[in-house]
């Protein structure tokens, strides 16, 4: 049965091109009447299992001490959300966040408590550090390049972890200009045939981060927000900047007050720009989906890609809106623009 003409048509939107495969795999079930929540979890799980993605799940880059930790969140409504952060022994953290939402009275579990809950849920525990990630960490410790786009993390003048001091053997504090930090959270939004919205995000956070650092992705309202009365939003990039403006919540609130998705994207990125004055190697990407299925995406700089699965097929699109189109932080991208609002 095809949807009523005024019903939203199923759609999955996801950050970065590496999520296109997961979108393609998840779309047929969504199109056949599956739930938006199952779709977003499926896309996130696909990225978590892929060892070639060095920012999500197995394959993600560790913190400054060489320890891997993962963060994730899922959300379908303000009163229906779950999140985990600093998970050290379990790979499928989006499923774990979903279990927090569905099986507990809480929203967020952190660290060993989150791992212990996963044990209780009979989720298999595993070593999260891939051989390639361990090698990248070794290179980083020696001050060698790790071959990814740069991101300076915190604002200039603040401190972050850099390779261990040769004399003392532990991470030292240096200025952000000196480090390379790739970042590419998988953030997924979907709308199903019933018009229900869902969102998920999963990340290993900023690579070589200070031990204990948690970014925007698992924090409801920062990296992800979903409200069926208004719409949903998901972010990727330097989490500290997204957190400073409550990026995803702000985008949804803009739509609640009448903004289109593209106006909401513009407002969030403008605020980040105004408050943080991001450096040329810092990036934020944002995807916004209205409750009626209109969407838009934007980024501070060229290079952000949206994977989009719909009845048209699966596409990889640059965002509609780029604050600094002449400044790229990543390589070539397809022609065309993502968004319909
Ligand atoms: N936003 C994530 C964080 O700050 C990183 C990313 O998007 O890659 O943890």
Give DSSP secondary structure letters for 207-229.
TTPPTT---STTSBTTTEEEETT
Which atom of ligand 1 has the smallest separation from the CA of 184?
8
> Of 126-135, 166-175, 256-265, 284-293, which range is least confident?
166-175
Question: What letter would DSSP give residue 114?
Answer: H
> What pLDDT, on a 0 to 100 scale, did the predictor assign at position 330?
39
**pLDDT tens sequence across 73-129:** 999 999 999 999 999 999 999 999 999 999 999 999 999 999 999 999 999 999 999
212 Cβ contact partners less than 8 Å away, ≥ 6 residues apart: 63, 86
Q: Examine the pLDDT at 182 and tell me if it is beyond 70.
A: no
Contact indicator for 194, 183 with CB cutoff of 8 Å: no
Intra-chain end-to-end CA distance of the chain, in Å: 27
Helix (H) / strand (E) containing 71: strand 70-77
Q: pTM for the full model? A: 0.87
CA of 162 to the centre of ligand 1 (A): 18
Q: Which of 200, 237, 259 is nearest to 76 (CA)?
A: 200
> What pLDDT, on a 0 to 100 scale, did the predictor assign at position 183?
54
The response to whether residue 283 sits with its C-beta less than 6 Å from ligand 1 reads no
> What pLDDT, on a 0 to 100 scale, did the predictor assign at position 332?
29
Q: Examine the pLDDT at 4 and tell me if it is beyond 70.
A: no
Binning pLDDT at 50, 70 and 90, where does residue 59 land?
confident
Which atom of ligand 1 has the smallest separation from the CA of 223?
1
Which atom of ligand 1 has the smallest separation from the CA of 242?
1
| Domains with residue ranges and CATH for the chain | 11-68+129-328 (3.60.20.30)
> What pLDDT, on a 0 to 100 scale, did the predictor assign at position 1?
43
**pLDDT tens sequence across 278-326:** 988 789 999 999 999 999 999 999 999 999 999 999 999 999 989 988 7
Q: Examine the pLDDT at 54 and tell me if it is beyond 90.
A: no
Binning pLDDT at 50, 70 and 90, where does residue 22 land?
very high
The response to whether residue 203 sits with its C-beta less than 6 Å from ligand 1 reads yes
* Alpha helices (H) in 50-110, listed in sequence order: 93-103
> What pLDDT, on a 0 to 100 scale, did the predictor assign at position 166?
32
> What pLDDT, on a 0 to 100 scale, did the predictor assign at position 338?
57
- The more confidently predicted of residues 205 and 172 is 205
Question: What letter would DSSP give residue 27?
Answer: H
Told to judge if 185 belongs to the known catalytic residues of this protein, a careful annotator would answer yes
Structure tokens at 34: 């599956």
Catalytic: which of 15, 185, 203, 238? 185
User: What residues are paired with 1 via a beta bridge?
Assistant: none
Over residues 220-243, the mean pLDDT reads 97
Give percent of the chain with pLDDT exceeding 70: 83
Q: Which of 193, 224, 191 is nearest to 294 (CA)?
A: 191
């Amino acid at each position: 049965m095809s949807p009523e003409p005024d019903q939203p048509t199923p759609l999955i939107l996801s950050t970065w091109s590496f999520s296109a495969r997961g979108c393609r795999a998840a779309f047929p079930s969504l199109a056949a009447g599956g739930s938006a929540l199952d779709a977003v979890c499926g896309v996130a799980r696909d990225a978590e299992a892929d060892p070639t993605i060095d920012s999500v799940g197995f394959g993600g880059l560790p913190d400054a001490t060489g320890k891997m930790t993962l963060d994730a969140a899922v959300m379908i409504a303000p009163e229906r959300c779950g999140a985990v952060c600093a998970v050290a022994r379990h790979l499928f953290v989006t499923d774990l966040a979903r279990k927090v939402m569905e099986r507990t009275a809480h929203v967020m579990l952190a660290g060993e408590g989150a791992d212990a809950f996963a044990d209780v849920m009979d989720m298999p525990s595993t070593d999260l550090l891939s051989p390639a990630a361990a090698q990248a960490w070794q290179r980083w410790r020696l001050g060698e390049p790790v071959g990814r786009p740069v991101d300076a993390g915190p604002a200039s003048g603040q401190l972050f972890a850099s390779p261990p001091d040769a004399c003392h053997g532990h991470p030292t504090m240096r200025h952000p200009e000196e480090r390379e930090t790739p970042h590419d959270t998988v953030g997924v939004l979907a709308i199903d045939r019933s018009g229900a919205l869902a969102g998920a995000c999963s990340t290993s956070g900023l690579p070589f981060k200070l031990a204990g650092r948690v970014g925007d992705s698992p924090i409801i309202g920062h990296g992800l927000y979903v409200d069926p009365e208004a719409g949903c939003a998901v972010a990727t990039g330097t989490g500290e900047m997204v957190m400073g403006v409550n990026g995803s919540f702000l985008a949804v609130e803009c739509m609640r007050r009448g903004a289109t998705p593209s106006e909401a994207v513009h407002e969030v990125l403008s605020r980040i720009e105004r408050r943080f004055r991001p450096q040329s190697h810092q990036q934020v990407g944002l995807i916004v989906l209205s409750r009626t299925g209109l969407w838009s995406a934007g980024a501070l700089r060229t290079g952000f890609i949206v994977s989009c699965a719909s009845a048209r097929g699966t596409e990889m699109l640059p965002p509609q809106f780029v604050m600094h189109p002449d400044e790229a932080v990543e390589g070539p991208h397809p022609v065309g623009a993502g968004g319909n609002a």
